[in-house]
Chains A and B, each alone.
Chain A
Amino acid sequence: MSEIARKVCLLGDFGVGKTSLVARFVRNTFSDKYLTTVGVKVDSREVATAAGARKLVVWDIAGKSALDSVSQSYIRGASGLILVADGTREPTLRAALYLQMQARTTLGDVPAVLLVNKLDRIDEWEIKPATLAELRKTLPVYETSARSGDGVEKAFAALAGDLPA
């Protein structure tokens, strides 16, 4: 029997680095222009987990602080969420958490991870470590850098491992 892929959606405010994270993680099949035309770009990658290889279909949804009707339709059927915030802009963390709340109305309580991006500019971060420590109590949080690749594989693998079999 062929392995059924899992759909995961990337949510986050504009400019937090979602597309760069996906570019770092997946094999690009489609052009980024779909993000500005259709509002989404879909790629896939197989990830090794403790339970074995698992294929993720990553829906990179165009950056917004709230989901409109089209974006709501894009997240239907997703098995997990990747929330992305920009460490140098504290409001993007609130936007990511708000997007998770919105997505739950459609998806229910699906596994999610929070990626705080731009680790390579950690000296400019506005998000305090204490805040992240507090968030880690309810949500897996990973500091990532799309530029260097730090933490990216680990974050995606963690979500893949949390997805239901």
Chain B
Amino acid sequence: MSALQRLKDLLLDDERVARARHAARIETLEQRKLSPAELTALIDRAGKGDTAPQLALALAEPVADALGEAVVSRRQTIVDALFPVIGPAIRKAMAEALRNMVADLNAAIESSFTPRGLAWRLEAWRTGAPYAQVVLRHTLRWRIEHLFLIEPDSGLVIHRESAPGLSDLDSDAIAGMLTAIGDFVQDSVGRTQGATLGSASVGEHLLWVDEGPRARLASFIRGAPPAALREMLRQRLEQIHARFSDPLAQLQGGAAGIDAALDQALDLPGVERDARALDNAPPPRSARWPLLVLALALLALLGAWQIDAWRWSQRLTEVAAALRDWPGMVVQEISRKGDAVTVRALLDPLADSPAQAIAIRLPADARVTLATRGYIATDAAIVERRARAVLGLPTRITLGFADGQLSIAGAMPAAQRDGILARAALVPGVLRVDADGLLATEVGLQAEFDVLLAAVESLRVPFDGDAETPADTQIAQRMVAGLRVLGERAFALDRRLILRTWGSTDGSGAPARNAQLRAARALWLAEHLAGALGVEVLAERSIEESARRATLDGRAAGVRVEQGAARQP
């Protein structure tokens, strides 16, 4: 070891040892792997004190990447982890929304029945806007935060008004950017000549831009202003133009009073006050006569409609009255729509159609619809009609119905009568049957018929000498009367009668003449009876045995009655 080396060892030994120790420590640290516990402790220490921002910055990128990866690969884990956070957040948002809605509803309900609320309803009706929108327009708060009067070409601020309490802003830069964006929008989309950026909104902030030839008014508003504010802002801009031909140039030139005039024109409280007054002002009154004419026309229309309605009411009342006692019909409803009348009713199939009865009580152009449903009526006329149809009763049998009892009167053969009585009680609507008036023809009627028949056939109309017509027609008249009664009985017995007349002579005279007389006398009587009874009577030419009769009896004419088949009902 040289002297120099020894000197070095003496002077630098401590540094050499320290350097060797540091080198060993660095090597150890570089090769060392931290255990999870050491890493956790290290992050915990780094997260406190001055190193916290550095740690956050260092972790921002990997944590964001890890979160993104986890959303893709372990979505359910992320959802589960966020569940306790998202639930309260959603509930809070919903509660807030519901609270706002309830507040709006309360305001709407509170205002519904007040004069102001009614006025808002009228406004909603007049403007066609929903009532809620009108309520919101009148109840929401708003205020102007900034007013910038801007020179349109350069975008320089001519005048500015701001509400107190707002943070300072670079009005020149904002006006410049607004102008630039307006130019950009106009050049990009506002192809139409003169089209400019008129408004923009972000959240509850609203920007209105009103253009003038020498100045542009930009209004920054918070809330939901009424349309009257826009109107008021335009009025103020017009006032400025009316007073100053070139506001920027005049301001730069130091025109007298321009500052004060602009202060006054764009005074924020004044603009807001005037806008609210304009918003609450009643609509301009117009001439009343058009309204009067309209009201009279409406009244006339209303009157005509009332008269027409009254007439229709009368007609329908008449129809209802006519149908109230209509046999076999129960009216359920009579309705009208225009000239279309609908009658809804229950109608028995045997009832007469009421269409004609309805039609004659309504105007000719009325359209009647009869909507009926079937039912079994118990009206007397309908039950009688039903009984006659069901039982097959001829018209000579009379029927009556009252209080559920069917009364039958007339005469018919006993066998037919029994059948009728058995079925009568089954007729719908019939509770009891009274058949005391219904006689069996076999009992007395036949006997009477026989007596009458014998009496009529025994009558002889006398003739004198060789007369072809009788001198006295009394016998002939009696014969007519007898035949008339006999016809009635035959009707009751349901029989048809055939009348044949005959003539006779005595034995004197030529046979040919006698034959002629017999035919003539039979013919006379046939014609007499036919004329008196209105029925056809057959005349026979002669009676063979007449020649053998006594003289007085021989000169006569009579009638013979034959009973034909049963009559049709």
Q: Using CB atoms and an 8 Å cutoff, list the residues of chain A in contact with chain B.
A: 1-2, 4-7, 27, 29-30, 34, 38-44, 55, 57, 59, 69-70, 73-74, 76-79
Query: Does A34 lie within 8 Å of B177, measured CB to CB?
Result: yes
CA distance A39 to B177 in the complex (A): 10
CA distance A27 to B171 in the complex (A): 13
Query: Does A29 lie within 8 Å of B184, measured CB to CB?
Result: no
**14 A–B contacts from the bound complex (CB under 8 Å):** A1-B254, A1-B259, A7-B155, A27-B170, A38-B180, A39-B180, A42-B176, A42-B180, A43-B170, A43-B173, A44-B173, A57-B155, A76-B154, A77-B151
Report the minimal beta-carbon distance from A140 to chain B, rounded to whole angstroms. Answer: 22
Q: In B93-140, which residues have CB < 8 Å from any A CB?
A: none
Report the minimal beta-carbon distance from A11 to chain B, rounded to whole angstroms. Answer: 15
Partner of A30, one of B157, B158, B177: B177
Residues of chain B lying within 8 A (CB to CB) of residue A6? 156
Q: Which residue of chain A lies nearest to B154 when distances are taken between CB atoms in the complex?
A: A77
CA distance A27 to B172 in the complex (A): 12
Residues of chain B lying within 8 A (CB to CB) of residue A57? 154-156, 172-173, 176
Report the minimal beta-carbon distance from A150 to chain B, rounded to whole angstroms. Answer: 25
Chain B: residues with Cβ within 8 Å of the partner, total of 25
CA distance A32 to B156 in the complex (A): 20
Residues of chain B lying within 8 A (CB to CB) of residue A43? 170, 173
Residues of chain B lying within 8 A (CB to CB) of residue A34? 177, 180
Report the minimal beta-carbon distance from B28 to chain A, rounded to whole angstroms. Answer: 44
Known: A5-B157, A57-B155, A57-B156. A74 touches B172 (CB 8 A): no
Residues of chain A lying within 8 A (CB to CB) of residue B156? 4-7, 57, 77
Residues of chain A lying within 8 A (CB to CB) of residue B158? 4
Partner of A73, one of B151, B157, B173, B183: B183
CA distance A42 to B181 in the complex (A): 11
Query: Does A4 lie within 8 Å of B252, measured CB to CB?
Result: yes
Residues of chain B lying within 8 A (CB to CB) of residue A44? 170, 172-173, 176
The interface residues of chain A, by DSSP majority, are classed as: mixed
Query: Does B176 lie within 8 Å of A59, measured CB to CB?
Result: yes
Partner of A77, one of B155, B172, B173, B174: B155
Query: Does A41 lie within 8 Å of B177, measured CB to CB?
Result: yes
| Chain B 39-64: CB-based contact to A (< 8 A → 1; otherwise 0) | 00000000000000000000000000
Instruction: Indicate if B251 sits at the interface (CB-CB under 8 A).
Output: yes
CA distance A40 to B184 in the complex (A): 9
Query: Does A39 lie within 8 Å of B184, measured CB to CB?
Result: yes
Q: Which residue of chain A lies nearest to B180 when distances are taken between CB atoms in the complex?
A: A40
Query: Does A1 lie within 8 Å of B180, measured CB to CB?
Result: no
Report the minimal beta-carbon distance from A9 to chain B, rounded to whole angstroms. Answer: 10
Report the minimal beta-carbon distance from A81 to chain B, rounded to whole angstroms. Answer: 13
Residues of chain A lying within 8 A (CB to CB) of residue B177? 29-30, 34, 38, 40-42
Partner of B187, one of A27, A41, A70: A70
Instruction: Indicate if B412 sits at the interface (CB-CB under 8 A).
Output: no
Instruction: Indicate if B153 sits at the interface (CB-CB under 8 A).
Output: yes
CA distance A73 to B187 in the complex (A): 9
Partner of A29, one of B151, B174, B252: B174
Residues of chain B lying within 8 A (CB to CB) of residue A78? 154
| Chain B 149-177: CB-based contact to A (< 8 A → 1; otherwise 0) | 00101111111000000000110111011
Residues of chain A lying within 8 A (CB to CB) of residue B153? 76-77
Given A38-B184, A42-B155, A70-B184, 12 other A-B residues pairs in contact with their CB atoms under 8 A: A1-B254, A4-B252, A5-B156, A6-B156, A7-B154, A42-B177, A43-B173, A57-B154, A59-B176, A73-B183, A73-B187, A77-B155
Instruction: Indicate if B248 sits at the interface (CB-CB under 8 A).
Output: yes
Residues of chain A lying within 8 A (CB to CB) of residue B174? 29
Residues of chain A lying within 8 A (CB to CB) of residue B251? 1, 4
Report the minimal beta-carbon distance from A6 to chain B, rounded to whole angstroms. Answer: 8
Q: Which residue of chain B lies nearest to A77 when distances are taken between CB atoms in the complex?
A: B154
Report the minimal beta-carbon distance from B454 to chain A, rounded to whole angstroms. Answer: 136
